[in-house]
Amino acid sequence: NFFDKFVIPQDDGSMVIKFNGKTFGPYRQVYEILLSTDKSKFGATVSDINRKKFLILSVGKNIPLNGLPNRMYLSPDGTTAIVRMGFDFDVDNFDPSSINMETATQVTIVTSDGGKYGPYNGDDFRDYYIWFCKTTPNHWIMELNGKYLLDGKSPLNIPDGFSNQNQCGKPARTIL
């Protein structure tokens, strides 16, 4: 099992990530860990001992997340990551009177360069709306309301019949 190979439980209940001779952590929770195509780098979503959530990359990036990570995308070379987050029902910050279904189902996108996008309607946002292209592996495309955004910014002019799976491959995820 890939997760068990790198995520090691500790006697105190915490977890560490052991990768290429280095130890990352300790963490209260490791939500997801992905490897670069050549398996030399990783990206992970974690919460620290104080339940603060982060996106970490083995290349030295540590990005705070203000929400519950529910899907991560990692570039083929492992240097860029995107996290789709939902509402965080953490008991320390959850006030039931201040939330409605629209808020509870929204998603936000956070990137490893600190970019934040959204919120978007989570019922209408699918996993395949974000992907890295084979020809430009550190650039990502997001489909939103029929438009394609490059790196979350300028809309691209995509010809009719375009398919992210046919032209760019499936979202870059390496799970062993």
Q: What is the pLDDT of residues 78-115, one digit of tens each?
A: 999 999 998 777 656 667 777 777 777 888 889 998 88
Q: Extract the tokens encoding 57.
A: 């990359």
Averaged pLDDT, 123-144: 77
**Cβ(76)–Cβ(172) under 8 Å?**
yes
**Which pLDDT does position 92 carry in this prediction?**
66
Average confidence score pLDDT of the chain: 82
Q: Extract the tokens encoding 71.
A: 């899907």
Q: What is the pLDDT of residues 31-58, one digit of tens each?
A: 999 999 999 999 999 999 999 999 999 9
Q: Extract the tokens encoding 120.
A: 């978007």
- DSSP lists the bridge partners of residue 55 as 45, 63
Alpha-carbon gap, residue 10 to 31, rounded angstroms: 16
pTM (2 decimals)? 0.80
**Which pLDDT does position 74 carry in this prediction?**
94
